[in-house]
Amino acid sequence: MKELLVDLGKNSYNIEIQKGLIKDVSKSVRKVFNGEKIFIITDKNVDKFYGDIVLNSLKKDGFNVDKYAVEPGEESKSFNTLPLIYDKLLDFKLTRKDLIITLGGGVVGDLGGFIAATFLRGVSFIQIPTTLLSQVDSSVGGKVGVDLDRGKNLVGSFYQPKRVIIDPNVLNTLEDKFYKDGMGEVIKYGFIKDKNLYILLNSLNNREDVMEHIEGIIYTCCNIKREIVEKDEKDLGERMVLNFGHTLGHAIEKHYGFSKFTHGEGVSIGMYLITRLAEKKGLTNEILSDKVKEILIRYGLPYNVEINDMEDIIETISLDKKNMGSTLKIIIMKEIGNAKIYNTTVDFFR
Ligand code: NAD
């Protein structure tokens, strides 16, 4: 068992990582919850594989448990889903002394976490992330929220879970495209903070190899995120380095109508292009873009794209910029394992 403490004063919590953990999940839950009722929020794919395993483990241990599964996908992480689930919680007569468990990827974690943060002004919750992206990123750090019709993550809160329970074995049922998406984020951690992680990833040849090292890989990523979140819980400074490749990646995703590239693919392209730009401007300490390219190819991720209309991309980036004041803050890698916030303007991209 690998375990990490996210030290946030009275909002501190542990992350447990172990293959097979989900089968006996009640044991982990008991460590932080001794109440009566538990409501599980999941999605229909995850429910099919793991819903009853979690439900039965908890019921066997004497908890009164109910469960609701939303449709899989980002569409469910919507403001419009909220009343439906609040109703289920009311039907179940969940009180502030009870517990919510989110069982799923980032969609379920963000949605269920926001429900936990807001129902009855806050109910305790535990995250059981089931995608690689949620195991290395979204389940840690307390960002919860939902999308509005006019944009993603526009309503939300910082609300820390009581525990994060990670069973890497559940990744065995994850579709390859979601596995790759998560690998984009894992590679990012190597680039921004950990050269040894990069070296390890560069020595693995396929998904089976990765799964052999998966506990250590997830631990390393969560530990990096833990360290950053402890210093900057509310995302006002250092937490920004986690956005390496994201601003440009997001603009590219948007440029292509969110249909051509997944989030992880957008981030991968963003990491490569920003590194190439930084290199051209002499901001990196070594020739890095070829290394970025090589590892992305190794993991079946894209690195480049034909951009016919750079001004459209810049427009999206400058809309982001408005949220941050007059300067544009971008993340660049100085060398592998060392990324920094760099103050510039949108002209950086011209
Ligand atoms: P997701 O939750 O939609 O999961 C992807 C797909 O995998 C879904 O179809 C799901 O049903 C399926 N799935 C999940 N676990 C599975 C398993 N073990 N076996 C088989 N299928 C499984 O997507 P995601 O990539 O996990 O999360 C994306 C969301 O995360 C976005 O909404 C994004 O905004 C959010 N996010 C949040 C943070 C944060 O800090 N809160 C950080 C990054 C991303």
Distance CA 132, CA 299 (A): 14
Cα dihedral 4, 224, 108, 317 in deg (nearest 10): 160
Per-residue pLDDT band at 148 (split at 50, 70, 90): very high
- Under the banding of pLDDT at 50, 70 and 90, the label for residue 317 is confident
| pLDDT band, very low/low/confident/very high, at 321 (cuts 50, 70, 90) | low
What does the pLDDT average to over 275-283? Answer: 94
Q: Looking at residue 152, what is its pLDDT?
A: 86
Asked if 23 and 169 count as a contact pair (C-beta separation under 8 A), the reply is no
Q: How far is the CA of 139 from the centre of ligand 1 (A)?
A: 10
DSSP string, 165-207: EE-GGGGGGS-HHHHHHHHHHHHHHHHHH-HHHHHHHHH--SH
Give the Cβ contact number of residue 239 at 10 Å. Answer: 17
Best CA proximity match to 54, nearest among 17, 85, 24: 24
Judged against a pLDDT cut of 80, whether residue 320 lies above it is answered with: no
Query: Band of the pLDDT at 310, cuts 50, 70, 90?
Result: confident
Given this model, what pLDDT does residue 254 score? Answer: 87
User: How far is the centre of ligand 1, averaged over its atoms, from the C-alpha of 44 (Å)?
Assistant: 13
| pLDDT tens, residue by residue, 21-77 | 999 999 999 999 999 999 999 999 999 999 999 999 999 999 999 999 999 999 999
The CA distances from residue 87 to 63, 83, 93, in Å, are 21, 6, 10
Highest average pLDDT, of 159-173, 258-272, 296-310, comes from 159-173
- Whole-model pTM: value is 0.96
Percent of all residues in the chain with a pLDDT value above 90, rounded to a whole number: 84
Nearest CA to ligand 1 atom 21: 174
* 283 CA to centre of ligand 1 in angstroms: 34
pLDDT band at 346 (very low <50, low <70, confident <90, very high): confident
Residue minimizing CA distance to atom 1 of ligand 1: 105
**What is the tens place of the pLDDT at every residue in 175-216?**
999 999 999 999 999 999 999 999 999 999 999 999 999 999
Confidence of residue 308 (pLDDT cuts 50, 70, 90): confident
Picking from 108, 160, 96, the residue whose alpha carbon sits closest to that of residue 133 is 108
User: Rounded to the nearest whole angstrom, what is the distance from the C-alpha of residue 137 to the centroid of ligand 1?
Assistant: 10
Which residues form the pocket of ligand 1, taking CB atoms under 6 Å from any ligand atom?
Answer: 43, 45-46, 49, 72-74, 77, 104-108, 110, 130-131, 133-134, 137-138, 141, 143, 152-153, 170, 173-174, 178, 181
Distances (CA, A) of 183 to 189, 218, 301, 335: 10, 11, 9, 20
Pocket test for ligand 1, best of 21, 46, 107 (most atoms within 8 A of CB): 107
Q: Are strands 143-148 and 328-335 parallel, antiparallel or unpaired?
A: unpaired
Q: What is the C-alpha to C-alpha distance for residues 301 and 304, in angstroms, rounded to an integer?
A: 10
Q: How far apart are CA 143 and CA 119, in angstroms?
A: 16
Distance of alpha carbon 271 from alpha carbon 50, whole angstroms: 34
Ligand 1 centroid to Cα of residue 308, in Å, is 31
| pLDDT at position 114 | 98
Atom 2 (ligand 1): residue with closest C-alpha? 105
What pLDDT score was predicted for residue 323? 57
Nearest CA to ligand 1 atom 44: 138
d(CA 58, CA 349): 52
- What's the pLDDT score for residue 256? 87
Is residue 32 within 8 A of residue 58, CB to CB? The reply is no
**pLDDT tens per residue, range 84-118:** 999 999 999 999 999 999 999 999 999 999 999 99
Phi, psi angle pair for 345, to nearest 5°? -130, 175
Q: What is the mean pLDDT of the chain?
A: 95
